[in-house]
Amino acid sequence: MTITQEQADWFAQTFGQIADNVERAVLGKRHVVELVLTAMLSDGHVLLEDVPGTGKTSLARAMAQSVQGTNTRIQFTPDLLPGDITGMSVYDQKEGVFEFHAGPIFANIVLADEINRASPKTQSALLEVMEEGHVTIDGVSRPVGVPFVVLATQNPVEQAGTYRLPEAQLDRFMMRTSLGYPDHAATVRILDGAATATADLVPIITPQALVGMADLAAQVYVDALVLDYIARLVDSTRAADEVRLGASIRGALALTRATRTRAASQGRTYATPDDVKALAVPVLSHRLILHPEAEFDGVTQETVIGQVLLDVAPPSRREAV
């Protein structure tokens, strides 16, 4: 079943309304807002990597407020335990049974603040739930519900007392992006008090309707030539001289899902190579592991993806539509 033009128009209109609402709290960052919203509608999670004070937490809260979903915030610290995230079974002496106490992971939108400050053991508690949407405790699987999105933040500059995120966990984030500092005009507006407090934002859509939007995005048509283009891009990341480990098949699937959503957000019923190009860097770059020599020479993951986009020829618009 393919999305109709009428449904695509509604999708694009609603997508724009949500982005406009979030941008009231996070001024001048439309591109990042749209990326995060695209990931949410593609059943993905987002890693916000930036220096302190750029609005990462405000973005996550504004997104949660706009979609009227339940949201929790987990402050990751070195002494945080896996049970503090997932919850645990507590013995009820009065009833003589173990009772499950749900952790903060049971929410529609989970803000994992400074995720790299927790130990690898604690970070591993997120692997199952980010991939499968449920947690297993004492042999019992408990779904966290839908929609379910993890918006994680980390500071790439301050490394004291932090743990590097394992590659298996990085691969479970659909996108990695950063806000960066606002431009001069946006800074002046922020100083003048133009930004709306996240608590004052009016919800635009319900969680159930958001799931409906995600279902519509999954119906966007992707031509075989566009799929071939995605496969060739991923293959090229594995063959690049600077790369020790290229993008996984999970990365290719994530890029395909995000491509469908971006096409719908533009009011189209079909995806184009331009949709793929617009998302390749945030979806694929964090999945690459570079050779130490390349890192020493100043090569970045984003640089490699940029070169791959230049080297791999896309299908022509006429062929791919």
Q: For 46-61, what is the mean pLDDT?
A: 84
* Residue 32 confidence (pLDDT): 93
**What's the pLDDT at 138?**
80
What CATH number has the domain bearing residue 291? 1.10.8.80
Q: Specify whether 123 is located in the same domain as 257.
A: no
Q: Is residue 321 situated within a structural domain? A: no
224 has pLDDT over 90: yes
147-170: burial string, b at 16+ Cβ within 10 Å, e else: bbbbbbbbbeeeeeebbebeeebe
Total domains in the chain come to: 2
| pLDDT of amino acid 161 | 62
CA 318 to chain centre: 31
Which is nearest to 49 in space by CA: 290, 293, 281? 281
Same-domain check for residues 154 and 243: no
Clarify whether residues 9 and 125 are in a common domain.
yes
The pLDDT tens digits for 106-122 are 998 898 988 888 888 88
Q: Using CA atoms in the order 50, 56, 57, 62, what is the torsion angle rounded to 10 degrees?
A: -170
10 Å CB burial of residue 239 (0-12, 13-18, 19+) is exposed
Tell if the pTM clears 0.95, that is, is over it: no
Question: What CATH number does the domain containing 89 carry?
Answer: 3.40.50.300
Q: Is the CB of residue 11 less than 8 Å from the CB of residue 216?
A: yes
152 and 269, same domain (yes or no): no
Query: What pLDDT, on the 0 to 100 scale, is given for residue 22?
Result: 92
How does pLDDT run across 176-218, given as a tens digit for each residue? 999 888 888 888 888 888 877 777 888 899 999 999 999 999 9
C-beta separation of 288 from 300 below 8 A: no
**Residue 321 pLDDT greater than 70, yes or no:** no
pLDDT above 70 as % of the chain: 97
Has residue 282 got a pLDDT over 90?
yes
Burial class (CB in 10 A: 0-12, 13-18, 19+), 185: exposed
- Indicate whether 224 and 164 sit together in one domain: no
